[in-house]
């Protein structure tokens, strides 16, 4: 029986962040992190092990971040929690007692109920180095790869498969366009065109009927009857929260939504907190359940959880989604609602768009255009979201937009907001992307 | 006599922005811009004409931004304003009437009263293509260049002179370090080291006594007696507002501070607005007069001015300084107060610092470290400023910090703030630079 002040269950982004934050606030506490995995993969980096990075071993969260913060870490699986006794049991037969417990059990790939989905060479995006080495091996013997799911991860897998030299890569997306949950149609189309430019076959507005083959995987059949040859299938269609441990302990959970937490990141037991992909989330704009499972949200939740362990000090807000990616030479970033998602949620919106070189003058070396779209609510004039695309600064610009969204800024406040500029580093102050997009929107309603 | 609804005097960043904004709000108004210069230089781009861009002609604000916004522009100089008659006279003998007037007369280089300052080959940073061609010509016949003033412009001139191949380049700064008004000492030292690495002689904590030579410039003598050979001297020690036109028209002005404006950017005449380097500014934090003359502030003021021309609709806030630059391979950004300036202004401060690779995993190609420092006020816990330095994303990060400063965010709010992440585009969500620097600061006071 080991005693620890703070016990973290789970060693990915949220768990590691919770442990680091706890160390900062409680320098003298004993902190223990228990995780199943020998090596912990950086979740968002997984697509890049195929091409850009080249190996799962180069995409690990270094254990040094735990040891240098004096966090004890144990490779084992917590299989039960006794809330009353404040102890946990592990699969190796050990027990630990805790004063405060943080659950960061993460999520698992969603596996759709498609016939044939259990055939060999159908891979999910499992956070497991051994499993992913198996995927790389299978890819190296493949000419035909079919990716089911045209969200960020699916697109990044597609792009990276091409970088690895795979002959035929197809992405299948249920919605009318890839990325449509994060970007408006016009931007989705640009991204799809980039995918096509690098030889990827994009089949949006399509549904998989079955995955087939005798003994081994041979093809994917679509509901429209089309049949695609497939040596490897990769599933990238979302994740489900790992709630089993919390549910068995009697904490309030929902199988699809996750472990219930309040704004202090407390579960229904006041000594047990939760953070990351395993928690329930609500939309920043509508208060409705949100399926946002992002490492950037999980780490924010972890920081809030750790701040509150021994006294409630910090509240979290409902998250907005802030996304970014690069396909070919096109970077995009998105924060908050798209025009489409805002309308679907019942908001009356107006928007402004502006395109500008990302340095000034445009004769500066390596200048690329960046376009910004901002979406506002008509009555309150508050910013609901925005997208940036073009140059590699897109994600940073999306983070800036995300800050304005979280501070609920109005369009007129954004026009009068100050941003710095420099010839080598930003657009011209005359052509400031954010201020101009906002001004163009404002002029529509004034 | 030409009649125009909106008359803009001045064709640099603030004037051009005012005209574009006015066009957006008043699609049917006649808009006229009068400027002295045939070609208008991008002010912050001027240092780069020496090396990176190579010529003043590649560093111009394109006239197309005026013509495509249906702004009439006249190359002429407004020499007097008759407020009562609402007319102006120009040096070519023409008159114009206006309904609303926007003064964007800018600033001129400050010329210190040093003996010998009027010798040939002593250059200021005049926004004049012909004059700057003269500077380039002089540089090409020079082995010894002395730059007086170690602010942003002075440093950028020094770096670019080296890129052009000048043998001996010296920067002289009065304060203990270059850039000390924008960055804390530790960052100034990094920048000075970068300058030294490229062979530049940095003499901080030094004062020029005189500029000497028989007939032509030969040397610069410091107050400590040191004598530096000089074929060219460049003065980069600030700017003074161009207030003569406004003062002669009877508007409230101050020779050092500029044209008085209220938060709507109105002068003391309700039909005359002003924006940019010519206006008086007050510090965001202290309310005291501020000497911030930045294109990014001027364009913000211009947007506010134009929104208010025919009805008061938009208020400006006192500006914060948001700066960025690149010296060698080191980019830096700064927003709001430094630790030094905050203490000097009487604030009790605490701070947090955090360094992280700018992509994740660090095995991503072209990963560079980025370090962030955030400075907070102790009683209110509000963010006063921050600096980012290292990778080329520094200026974008400074803009993000600037947004948090302008929204007066507290340290605990910043810890719980959400930023997106992506392997190729940002630091790891675990190592988010802003959240971690804030958390490290917060842990100090909790």
Measured CA to CA, the distance from residue B180 to residue B188 in angstroms comes to 6
Q: Residue A331 is part of a domain; what is its CATH number?
A: 3.30.390.30
Is B443 within 8 Å of A398 when comparing Cβ atoms?
no
Q: What pLDDT is stored for residue A215 in this prediction?
A: 84
- Average pLDDT estimate for A299-320: 96
For each of chain B's 446 residues, which pLDDT tens digit applies? 899 999 999 999 999 999 999 999 999 999 999 999 999 999 999 999 999 998 999 999 999 999 999 999 999 999 999 999 999 999 999 999 999 999 999 999 999 999 999 999 999 999 999 999 999 999 999 999 999 999 999 999 999 999 999 999 999 999 999 999 999 999 999 999 999 999 999 999 999 999 999 889 999 999 999 999 999 999 999 999 999 999 999 999 999 999 999 999 999 999 999 999 999 999 999 999 998 999 999 999 999 999 999 999 999 999 999 999 999 999 999 999 999 999 999 999 999 999 999 999 998 999 999 999 999 999 999 999 999 999 999 999 999 999 999 999 999 999 999 999 999 999 999 999 999 999 999 999 98
Is B300 within 8 Å of A435 when comparing Cβ atoms?
yes
- Total number of domains constituting chain B: 3
- Average pLDDT estimate for A88-105: 98
pTM score of the predicted model: 0.95
**B251 located within any domain:** yes
Is B418 within 8 Å of A402 when comparing Cβ atoms?
yes
**B340 located within any domain:** yes
| Beta pairing class for B107-109 and B122-123 | unpaired
Give the 3-state DSSP-derived string for chain A, with helices as H, strands as E and coil as C. Answer: CEEEEEEEECCCHHHHHHHHHHHHHCCCCCEEEEECCCCCECHHHHHHHCCCCCCHHHCECCCHHHHCCCCEEEECCEEEEECCCCEEEECCCCEEEEEEEEECCCEEECCCCCCCCCCCCEECCCCCHHHHHHHHHHHHCCCEEEEECCCHHHHHHHHHHHHCCCCEEEEECCCCCCCCCCCCHHHHHHHHHHHHHCCEEEECCCCEEEEECCCCCCEEEECCCCEEECCEEEECCCEEECCHHHHHCCCCEECCCEECCCCCCECCCCCEEECCCCECEECCCCCCEECCCCHHHHHHHHHHHHHCCCCCCCCCCCCCCEEEEEECCEEEEEEECCHHHHHHCCCCEEEEEEEEECCCCCCCCCCCEEEEEEEEECCCCEEEEEEEEECCCHHHHHHHHHHHHHCCCEHHHHHCCCCCCCCCCCCCCCCCHHHHHHHHHHHHHC
Q: Which residues of B touch A398 (CB under 8 A)?
A: 420
Which of A322, A324, A424 is facing B326, going by the closest CB pair? A424
**A347 located within any domain:** yes
**A312 located within any domain:** no
Is B419 within 8 Å of A402 when comparing Cβ atoms?
yes
β-sheet bridge partners, residue A39:
none
**A149 located within any domain:** yes
- Average pLDDT estimate for A63-82: 97
Q: Which residues of A touch B409 (CB under 8 A)?
A: 407
Closest residue of chain A to B16, computed from CA coordinates: A430
The interface predicted TM-score of the complex, written ipTM, equals 0.94
Asked whether residue A144 falls in the same domain as residue A248, the answer is no
Measured CA to CA, the distance from residue B257 to residue B288 in angstroms comes to 11
Mean pLDDT of chain B: 96
Is A429 within 8 Å of B325 when comparing Cβ atoms?
no
Contacts of B84 (CB under 8 A, 6+ apart): none
Asked whether residue A196 falls in the same domain as residue A255, the answer is no
Mutate one of B355, B406, B420 to test the A interface: name it (highest A CB count within 10 A). Answer: B420
Count of A–B CB contacts within 8 Å?
275
Is A420 within 8 Å of B300 when comparing Cβ atoms?
no
pLDDT digits (tens, 9 = 90+) for A183-214: 999 999 999 999 999 999 999 999 999 999 98
Q: What's the domain range around B218? A: 111-235
Closest residue of chain B to A318, computed from CA coordinates: B418
Is residue A11 within 8 A of residue A33, CB to CB? The reply is: yes
Mean pLDDT of chain A: 96
Asked whether residue A327 falls in the same domain as residue A438, the answer is yes
Which of A13, A303, A442 is facing B415, going by the closest CB pair? A303
Asked whether residue B184 falls in the same domain as residue B243, the answer is no
Asked whether residue B147 falls in the same domain as residue B94, the answer is no
Q: Is the pLDDT of residue A54 over 90?
A: no
Contacts of B410 (CB under 8 A, 6+ apart): B376, B380, B381, B382, B383
Q: What pLDDT is stored for residue A202 in this prediction?
A: 98
Q: Residue A131 is part of a domain; what is its CATH number?
A: 3.50.50.60
How many other CB atoms sit within 10 Å of the CB of residue B33? 26
Of A307, A338, A367, which closes a domain?
A: A307
Q: What pLDDT is stored for residue A253 in this prediction?
A: 98
Closest residue of chain B to A443, computed from CA coordinates: B25
Contacts of A167 (CB under 8 A, 6+ apart): A143, A144
Asked whether residue B20 falls in the same domain as residue B80, the answer is yes
Is B422 within 8 Å of A325 when comparing Cβ atoms?
yes
Q: Which residues of B touch A127 (CB under 8 A)?
A: none
Is B360 within 8 Å of A42 when comparing Cβ atoms?
yes
Of B197, B218, B235, which closes a domain?
A: B235
Which of B16, B364, B418 is facing A319, going by the closest CB pair? B418
Is A60 within 8 Å of B404 when comparing Cβ atoms?
no
**B41 located within any domain:** yes
Which of B299, B321, B398 is facing A430, going by the closest CB pair? B299
pLDDT digits (tens, 9 = 90+) for A221-257: 999 999 999 999 999 999 999 999 999 999 999 999 9
**A317 located within any domain:** no
- Distance (Å) from the C-alpha of residue B6 to the closest C-alpha of chain A? 17
Asked whether residue B345 falls in the same domain as residue B250, the answer is no
**A78 located within any domain:** yes
Asked whether residue A16 falls in the same domain as residue A66, the answer is yes
- Distance (Å) from the C-alpha of residue A87 to the closest C-alpha of chain B? 27
Of A281, A307, A333, which closes a domain?
A: A307
Give the single-character DSSP code of B282.
E
Is A429 within 8 Å of B13 when comparing Cβ atoms?
yes
Mutate one of A429, A439, A442 to test the B interface: name it (highest B CB count within 10 A). Answer: A429
With a pLDDT cut of 70, the percent of chain A lying above it is: 100
Asked whether residue A245 falls in the same domain as residue A229, the answer is no
Asked whether residue B294 falls in the same domain as residue B354, the answer is no
Asked whether residue B102 falls in the same domain as residue B245, the answer is yes
pLDDT digits (tens, 9 = 90+) for B286-334: 999 998 999 999 999 999 999 999 999 999 999 999 999 999 999 999 9
Asked whether residue A123 falls in the same domain as residue A203, the answer is yes
């Amino acid at each position: 029986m080991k005693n620890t002040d703070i016990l973290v269950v789970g060693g990915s982004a949220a768990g590691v962040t919770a442990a680091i934050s706890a160390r900062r606030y409680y320098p003298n506490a004993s902190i223990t992190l228990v995780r199943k995995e020998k090596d912990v993969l950086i979740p968002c980096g997984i697509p890049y092990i195929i091409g850009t990075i080249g190996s799962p071993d180069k995409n690990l969260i270094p254990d040094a971040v735990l040891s240098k913060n004096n966090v004890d870490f144990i490779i084992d699986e917590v299989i039960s929690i006794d809330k009353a006794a404040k102890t946990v049991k592990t699969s190796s037969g050990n027990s630990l007692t805790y004063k405060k417990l943080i659950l960061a059990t993460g999520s698992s790939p969603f596996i759709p109920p498609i016939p044939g989905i259990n055939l060999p060479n159908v891979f999910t995006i499992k956070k497991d180095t051994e499993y992913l080495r198996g995927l790389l091996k299978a890819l190296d013997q493949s000419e035909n790869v079919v990716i089911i799911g045209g969200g960020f991860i699916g697109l990044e897998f597609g792009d990276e498969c091409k970088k690895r030299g795979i002959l035929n890569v197809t992405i299948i997306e249920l919605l009318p366009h890839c990325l449509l949950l994060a970007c408006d149609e016009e931007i989705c189309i640009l991204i799809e065109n980039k995918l096509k430019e690098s030889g990827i076959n994009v089949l949006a507005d399509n549904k998989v009927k079955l995955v087939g083959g005798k003994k081994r995987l041979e093809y994917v059949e679509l509901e429209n009857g089309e049949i695609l040859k497939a040596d490897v299938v990769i599933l990238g269609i979302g994740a489900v929260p790992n709630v089993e441990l919390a549910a068995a302990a009697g904490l309030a959970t929902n199988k699809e939504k996750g472990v219930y937490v309040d704004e202090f990141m407390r579960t229904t037991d006041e000594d047990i907190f939760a953070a990351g992909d395993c928690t329930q989330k609500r939309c920043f704009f509508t208060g409705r359940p949100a399926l946002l499972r992002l490492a950037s949200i999980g780490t924010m939740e972890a920081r809030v959880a750790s701040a509150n362990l021994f006294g409630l000090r910090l509240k979290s807000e409902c998250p907005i989604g802030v996304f970014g990616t690069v396909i070919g030479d096109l970077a995009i970033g998105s924060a908050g609602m798209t025009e489409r998602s805002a309308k679907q949620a019942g908001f009356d919106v107006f928007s402004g768009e502006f395109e500008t070189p990302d340095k000034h003058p445009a004769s500066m070396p390596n200048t690329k255009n960046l376009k910004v779209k901002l979406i506002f609510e008509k009555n309150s004039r508050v910013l609901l979201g925005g997208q940036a695309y073009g140059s590699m600064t897109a994600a940073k610009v999306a983070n800036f937009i995300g800050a304005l969204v979280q501070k609920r800024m109005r369009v007129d406040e954004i026009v009068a907001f100050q941003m710095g500029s420099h010839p080598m580093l930003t657009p011209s102050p005359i052509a400031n992307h954010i201020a101009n997009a906002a001004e163009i929107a404002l002029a529509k309603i004034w």
